[in-house]
Amino acid sequence: MPTIEKDFRRSVVYQIYVKSFCDSNGDGLGDLPGITRKLDYLAHLGVDYLWLTPFYPSPQKDNGYDVSDYCAVDPRYGTMDDFDELVAAARERGIGIMLDMVLCHTSTEHEWFRQACSGEERYQAYYILRDGRGSAGPGDPGEPPTNWECAFGGSAWEWEPRLGKWYLHMHDASQPDLDWTNPEVREACADVVRFWRERGVTGFRFDVINLISKPEVIEDVPGPGAACRSLVADGPHVHEYLRELVERSGIDGMITVGEMASTDLANCVRYTRPDDHELSMSFSFHHLKVDYAGGDKWALAEPDIVELREVLREWQEGMQDGGGWNALFWDNHDQPRAITRFGGRGGVGERGGSWDLVGKMLSTMSFLMKGTPYVFEGDELGMTNAGYDSIEKYDDVESKNAYRMLLGRGSTPDEALRVMGERSRDNGRTPMQWTAGPGAGFTTGEPWLGVSANHEQVNAEAEVGVEGSMFEWYRGLIALRHTSDVVALGDVRFLDAGSAAPKVIAFERTLGEKRLVVACSFDDEPCELTDLGTDDMTVLLGNYADCPAEGVLRPYEAVAWSR
């Protein structure tokens, strides 16, 4: 079999939300054999690695990110033999497998937590347990230890009568946080990573990994409370713990990426500098908050493209200057679809409409910036938000909590539902659209989550091999990432597109005498560009059928010039 040893700077990663990718047995859930069945499709697309979201045993309180056994396969997704077959079949096609490691917290159904609740002091030391405030004694919970709030709403502490303690959970109450100050916890987590590396896994994505090191003093914050992720992010020992994990598990040199919640640039440089031996690259999310009114995810606003440009410039140039490396993405399983978010609502499935132009513009920007591009399943087809017409059609715990919160704030059901239609994580979790047929070709049964109505227009069967389709556009971008030195390795610098083009983001990539200039318009009206120094350059690609007019970008136009 060919080995999977690729330069991550030239690679493209494809994220598979296992539950929604392909159902091989008609039970309505995607599974591992379903992925194996679609490997030829993925090889034809040209991707290098498949990042699989958790398929471990789980009570599914948070769609698999509540793990009850790190070293097994949940029967709903297949068997360990199915996993081994997938790894081998992917390797035959030159594709590596990346696994999602959820090592910040476990499920309350994990054996470690069960043992803790049964009185085993060894396992009680695996978790962050505290007495309540104002407790009258054993059996009286009192009040939560601090005023911290979890990511999904409500207190970050849960009373557990069997322990006689409160445990910290930065996410759902079913996800108690592990105590990484305990060396035994750190060794156990390294054992998990080593287990999968020895089964042929060639890369890892670490879920909210910058939250593993808690403050040395856990205490109230001023005011009514704060999301504890912002209080815990990039904690005092996080870099030390990461280096130790990488060394103990033997993954130094493999492709790795960390999901960084509420992080900052300086820490992401440290996480990803090669000399620090922590991670290959990091996910940061600041660019996906530019349509949060007042910083509130559940308050809608039009995307602020001026802010978007500044965030991208800061992270692109800042990571470059510090020697770090970015993961490039618009979508994942925790985000609504960017093609809807940034204007692609018109002419869905038709070439030349805003749907087509926005999808190609966004992917052009992502692939031509400096970093490693990630394609979330369905991006290459132009999949959009779900468009559900009732809250009952949503599955996500965060979305249901947010819907109730909005009603409590005074929103009408219709207003709250509109917010879900724009912001819910389920928008990125709808089943993959393979065909125009029932269930979008995802399953022969009843899909676990409703498919988007536009699957009749937007699907793989209608796009693969069709000139000008979204799928073929992505194939071209992936090939360019593989073959162009300036795209994979060149320096990046953002350019001023001029005061008449406030919704245009422009940048250049340079490597020796090679130069690439990219201009992407987020405007639904034509706009005039300042001189970007492209007079002696040729158009490499553009998302309109004809060449761009000199000094003008049309609505949602993306152009790259090369020399």
- Which pLDDT score, from 0 to 100, does residue 124 have? 98
Residue 37, judged by CB atoms within 10 A of its CB (0-12, 13-18, 19+), counts as middle
Residue 391, judged by CB atoms within 10 A of its CB (0-12, 13-18, 19+), counts as middle
Residue 296, judged by CB atoms within 10 A of its CB (0-12, 13-18, 19+), counts as exposed
Q: What is the pLDDT of residues 321-346, one digit of tens each?
A: 999 999 999 999 999 999 999 999 99
Q: Which two tokens stand for residue 524?
A: 């639904």
- Which pLDDT score, from 0 to 100, does residue 426 have? 97
- Are 77 and 31 in contact by the 8 Å Cβ rule? The answer is yes
Chain mean pLDDT for the chain: 96
pLDDT for residue 14 is more than 60: yes
The rounded distance, in Å, linking the Cα atoms of 293 and 226 is 18
Q: What is the pLDDT of residues 188-210, one digit of tens each?
A: 999 999 999 999 999 999 999 99
Q: What is the pLDDT of residues 63-105, one digit of tens each?
A: 999 999 999 999 999 999 999 999 999 999 999 999 999 999 9
The rounded distance, in Å, linking the Cα atoms of 128 and 180 is 9
Q: Place 4 in a pLDDT band, splitting at 50, 70 and 90.
A: low
- Are 518 and 506 in contact by the 8 Å Cβ rule? The answer is yes
The number of C-alpha atoms within 13 Å of 537 and in the hemisphere containing its C-beta is 20
> Which amino acid, residue 297?
K
Kindly compute the dihedral angle of the four CA atoms of residues 292, 293, 298, 304, in this order, to the nearest 10 degrees: -30
Q: What is the pLDDT of residues 506-559, one digit of tens each?
A: 999 999 999 999 999 999 999 999 999 999 999 999 999 998 888 999 999 999
Q: What is the pLDDT of residues 25-54, one digit of tens each?
A: 999 999 999 999 999 999 999 999 999 999
Catalytic positions, written as ranges: 207, 259
Q: Are strands 96-101 and 49-52 parallel, antiparallel or unpaired?
A: parallel
Spatial CA neighbour of 471 closest among 505, 421, 504, 432: 432
The rounded distance, in Å, linking the Cα atoms of 349 and 347 is 6
pLDDT for residue 484 is more than 90: yes
Which residue intervals of 2-149 are DSSP H helices? Answer: 18-21, 32-37, 39-45, 80-92, 111-117, 121-124
DSSP 451: P
The rounded distance, in Å, linking the Cα atoms of 5 and 91 is 11
Q: What is the pLDDT of residues 171-187, one digit of tens each?
A: 999 999 999 999 999 99
- Are 387 and 456 in contact by the 8 Å Cβ rule? The answer is no
Helix axes 265-272 and 238-249, enclosed angle (nearest 10): 20
Average of pLDDT values for 303-319?
A: 98
Residue 299, Cβ neighbours under 10 Å: how many? 14
- Which pLDDT score, from 0 to 100, does residue 548 have? 86
- Which pLDDT score, from 0 to 100, does residue 136 have? 87
Q: Are strands 157-160 and 165-168 parallel, antiparallel or unpaired?
A: antiparallel
The pTM of this model reads: 0.96
- Which pLDDT score, from 0 to 100, does residue 256 have? 98
The rounded distance, in Å, linking the Cα atoms of 188 and 185 is 5
Helix axes 265-272 and 305-322, enclosed angle (nearest 10): 40
Q: Place 2 in a pLDDT band, splitting at 50, 70 and 90.
A: very low
- Are 63 and 74 in contact by the 8 Å Cβ rule? The answer is no
pLDDT for residue 223 is more than 90: no
Q: Which two tokens stand for residue 315?
A: 């992270």
The number of C-alpha atoms within 13 Å of 377 and in the hemisphere containing its C-beta is 29
pLDDT for residue 1 is more than 80: no
| Longest distance between any two alpha carbons in the chain, whole Å | 79
